[in-house]
Chains A and B, each alone.
Chain A
Amino acid sequence: MNINWFKYSSPQTFYPLAGRMIPWFAWAASIFAVIGLYISFFIAPTDFQQGEAYRIIFVHVPAAWMSMFIYMVMAGWAALGLSLNARLPAMMAQALAPTGAIFTLLALVTGSFWGKPMWGAWWVWDARLTSELILLFLYLGFIALQSSIDDPRKADKAGALLALVGVVNVPIIYFSVKWWNTLHQGSTISMGAAPKMVTTMLLGMLLMALAFWMYTIAVALMRVRCIMLERERASDWVKEQALSVGGNT
């Protein structure tokens, strides 16, 4: 079978495909979120140590997972864009960055909501928290660099290089922060020592992670469509697109 792998690598062909895919992922995100939230609030048992307040982890943990995962995916797109000198992967990287930053922020905020009743403090210089904060800085640096370079192709490449440098540094930063913390003081609470999770809790968490994942794809596709229109505004296919939309209304 002869498949043309590059058929959807041009914005012109990817734009309508992305448009067709968005509703599927958006619906999947909503369905997973409804089931996941139902399980996390009504089915998952109350934790005998942490009470009801632990339920924030159903948002917190998936958000933290996604924040790290999106950075890896973003760097993957960036590497692809840089090595193939292609437009679409760079646009995907640009489209993913804000969502990743939002999930990082969400993980930090929900983490402090959880930390107040559990640790008695909104913020603790725990290794995990600190590296999550640094991840937010990395996202912000990527977004700031891309938005301050006017030429989009140059912004793509510079951003891609920064994302790759960040990816090399993320494990180094993570372990150095971990050692820093253990050298200063023992970890206040370690996830490893937490009691084993009930299956329904795990299920709720996984469903919420799936919901966040689908949401990320849907939102990134919406954003990449905007970026495509903006960058290719001088091309014929965008004009046709604009005319066809105009004709419908």
Chain B
Amino acid sequence: MNRAWVTIFKRDILLALRRRSDVATTLFFFLIVASLFPLGIGPEPAVLSSIAPGVLWVAALLAGMLSLTRMFASDFSDGSLEQMLIAPQPLPMLVIAKVLAHWIVCGLPVVLLAPMIGLQYALPNDALLVLVLSLLLGTPALSLIGAIGAALTLGVRGSGLLIALLVLPLYIPVLIFGAGAVAASQHGMSPEAHLSLLAAFSLLSLVLAPFATAAALRISVE
């Protein structure tokens, strides 16, 4: 069990490292979307720092969503996904390995890049810290829930747009608590409640989403 898990995890990381441009696209998308808002709204620091939590979180949400279609697509096309489905190891555990690898490749870089963009939005230091913390706690939930959408739209016409329609409504709680945590610390309130709820949501999706993803994979591949 452990060996299969580690193998899949390592393999997915290795595959991503061999195709670095995929990782870079997600990151550049995040960077570009976040840079468009000041151009559209104007350079006043007061305005920018008040919209920063929402804008950065929405940009992170969209960047994470872009990379979702790749989560199972290559495994589906080369047949290794079928091997995972018939493997003796429980499929939800293997799904967790794949989702974790996806998060490290696509989610973590966004988390690390976010404070830099936060500086451009004139966020104060403690708000930057909360931004990183909230993204760190919230983005795993995005990958876990996104995996359900990715599995459901496997091999479907126009899956890229469809996945947005399926997954974005489910992302709303993460967006609310993530951006809420940053906004709370900006207003001098404690972000603890928001962060706790965010962590709770991530844990809940860690428990439930792999089972839904596994069921969706079985439906899509049958």
The residues of B that contact A134 with a CB separation of less than 8 Å are 169, 172
Say whether, besides A148-B162, A154-B222, A176-B176, A169 and B153 are in contact (CB < 8 Å). no
Q: Which residue on A lies nearest to B189, using beta carbons?
A: A183
The residues of A that contact B212 with a CB separation of less than 8 Å are 161, 164-165
**Within the complex, which residue of A138, A148, A166 is in contact with B157, where a contact is CB–CB below 8 Å?**
A148
The residues of B that contact A161 with a CB separation of less than 8 Å are 148, 152, 212, 215-216, 219
Say whether, besides A158-B219, A183-B180, A173 and B173 are in contact (CB < 8 Å). yes
Task: Please give the distance in Å from B164's CB to the nearest CB on chain A.
Answer: 9
**Within the complex, which residue of B158, B172, B180, B184 is in contact with A173, where a contact is CB–CB below 8 Å?**
B172
Say whether, besides A134-B172, A158-B219, A145 and B157 are in contact (CB < 8 Å). no
- Contact present for A141 and B166 (CB under 8 Å): yes
Q: Which residue on B lies nearest to A149, using beta carbons?
A: B156
The residues of B that contact A172 with a CB separation of less than 8 Å are 173, 201
**Within the complex, which residue of A137, A157, A176, A179 is in contact with B168, where a contact is CB–CB below 8 Å?**
A137
- Contact present for B215 and A148 (CB under 8 Å): no
User: Which residues in chain B, 45-96, are within 8 Å of chain A measured between CB atoms?
Assistant: none
The residues of B that contact A145 with a CB separation of less than 8 Å are 152-153, 156, 162, 165-166
- Contact present for B148 and A138 (CB under 8 Å): no
- Contact present for A180 and B166 (CB under 8 Å): no
Tier of interface size on chain A: 20 to 34
Say whether, besides A162-B152, A177-B176, A180-B176, A138 and B169 are in contact (CB < 8 Å). yes
Chain B 164-198: CB-based contact to A (< 8 A → 1; otherwise 0):
01101110110011001000100000000000010
Tier of interface size on chain B: 20 to 34
Does chain B have a CB within 8 A of A140?
A: yes
Chain A binding site: helix, strand, loop or mixed by DSSP? Answer: helix
Separation of A32 and B197 alpha carbons in the complex (Å):
45
- Contact present for B220 and A137 (CB under 8 Å): no
- Contact present for B180 and A165 (CB under 8 Å): no
Separation of A132 and B170 alpha carbons in the complex (Å):
14
Task: Please give the distance in Å from B49's CB to the nearest CB on chain A.
Answer: 17
Does chain A have a CB within 8 A of B116?
A: no
**Within the complex, which residue of B158, B176, B197, B208 is in contact with A168, where a contact is CB–CB below 8 Å?**
B208
Say whether, besides A149-B156, A161-B215, A168-B208, A154 and B220 are in contact (CB < 8 Å). yes
Separation of A14 and B152 alpha carbons in the complex (Å):
30
Q: Which residue on A lies nearest to B154, using beta carbons?
A: A158
Does chain B have a CB within 8 A of A31?
A: no
Q: Which residue on B lies nearest to A137, using beta carbons?
A: B169
Does chain B have a CB within 8 A of A144?
A: yes
Q: Which residue on B lies nearest to A174, using beta carbons?
A: B173
The residues of B that contact A154 with a CB separation of less than 8 Å are 219-220, 222
- Contact present for B172 and A165 (CB under 8 Å): no
User: Which residues in chain B, 143-165, are within 8 Å of chain A measured between CB atoms?
Assistant: 148, 152-153, 156-158, 162, 165
**Within the complex, which residue of A157, A158, A164, A169 is in contact with B170, where a contact is CB–CB below 8 Å?**
A169
Q: Which residue on B lies nearest to A179, using beta carbons?
A: B176
| Besides A162-B166, A180-B180, 20 other A-B contacts (C-beta < 8 A) | A134-B172, A137-B165, A137-B169, A138-B169, A145-B152, A145-B156, A145-B166, A148-B157, A148-B158, A149-B156, A154-B222, A158-B216, A161-B216, A164-B212, A173-B169, A173-B170, A173-B172, A176-B172, A183-B180, A183-B184
Residue pairs across A and B with Cβ atoms less than 8 A apart, 16 shown, are A137-B165, A137-B169, A144-B165, A145-B156, A145-B165, A148-B162, A158-B220, A161-B148, A161-B212, A162-B152, A164-B212, A165-B212, A169-B169, A169-B170, A173-B169, A183-B184
